Amino acid sequence: MIRVPSLFLLVFLCWSCLAQSPVSVDQTDELEAVFTERPKLVVGIVVDQMRYDYLTRFEEKYSNGGFIRLINDGFNCKNGHFNYVPTYTGPGHASLYTGTTPRNHGIISNSWYDKSEKKFVYCAGNDSVQSVGTDSRAGQMSPHRMIVSTFPDENRLFTQMRGKTIGISVKDRGAVLPAGHTANAAYWYEGKESGNWISSTYYMDDLPNWVKKFNRSDAVESYLKIWNTQYDIKTYTESGDDLNAFEYGFNGKETATFPYDLKALAPLNGNMDILRDTPYGNSIVTDFALAALVNEDLGQDEHTDVLAISYSSTDYMGHNFGVNSKEVEDVYIRLDLELKRLLLALDREVGEGNYTLFLTSDHGAVEVPSYLQTVGIPAGYIDNDLVKSEFTTFLQTTFGSQQIVENVSNNQVFLNREKLEELKLDLDEVCEKIADELITYDHVDRVYTGKSINNSSFESGIEVLLQRGYNQKRSGDVLVVNKPAHISYSKTGSTHGTGLNYDTHVPIIFYGKGIRKGSTLEYVPIIDIAPTISALLGTAFPNGASGKPLYFILD
In angstroms, the CA 193 to CA 271 distance is: 6
Question: What is the number of other CB atoms lying within 10 angstroms of the CB of residue 452?
Answer: 19
3-state secondary structure of 61: helix
CB contact at 8 A, 149 and 543: yes
Alpha carbon of residue 498 to chain centroid: 15
89 is catalytic: yes
**Residue 120, amino acid:** F
Residue from 28, 36, 56, 89 carrying the catalytic annotation: 89
3-state secondary structure of 508: strand
Q: Tally Cβ neighbours within 10 Å of residue 205.
A: 7
DSSP-based helix, strand, coil % in the chain, nearest 5: 40, 15, 40
Pairing mode, strands 111-114 and 119-122: antiparallel
Burial (Cβ within 10 Å: 0-12, 13-18, ≥19) of residue 378: exposed
Q: In whole angstroms, how large is the CA radius of gyration of the chain?
A: 26
Phi, psi angle pair for 418, to nearest 5°: -65, -40
SS3 389: helix
Instruction: Give the span between the Cα atoms of 541 and 2, in whole angstroms.
Output: 43
Give CA–CA dist 282/338, Å, rounded.
7
Tell me how far CA of residue 259 lies from CA of 19, 207, 268, 320, 545, in angstroms.
Answer: 71, 36, 17, 16, 46
What is the 3-class SS of 412-469, one letter each residue? EEEECHHHHHHCCCCHHHHHHHHHHHHCCCCCEEEEEEHHHHHHCCCCCCHHHHHHHH
Query: Angle at CA 360, nearest 5°, toward 164 and 61?
Result: 120
- Is residue 98 within 8 Å of 123, Cβ to Cβ? no
Burial 163-194 (b: 16+ CB within 10 A, else e): bbbbbbbbbbbbbbbbbbbbbbbbbbbbbeeb
Alpha-carbon torsion 495, 499, 505, 511, what sign?
A: positive
Residue closest to 109 by CA, chosen among 362, 292, 351, 326:
362
Could you tell me which of 516, 405, 417 has the C-alpha nearest to residue 74? 516
User: Taken in order 288, 231, 274, 266, is the CA torsion positive or negative?
Assistant: positive
Q: Which residue, among 93, 188, 190, has the nearest Cα to 145 in the 3D structure?
A: 93
Nearest to 197, CA basis, from 184, 181, 210: 210
Which residues are marked as active site?
Answer: 89
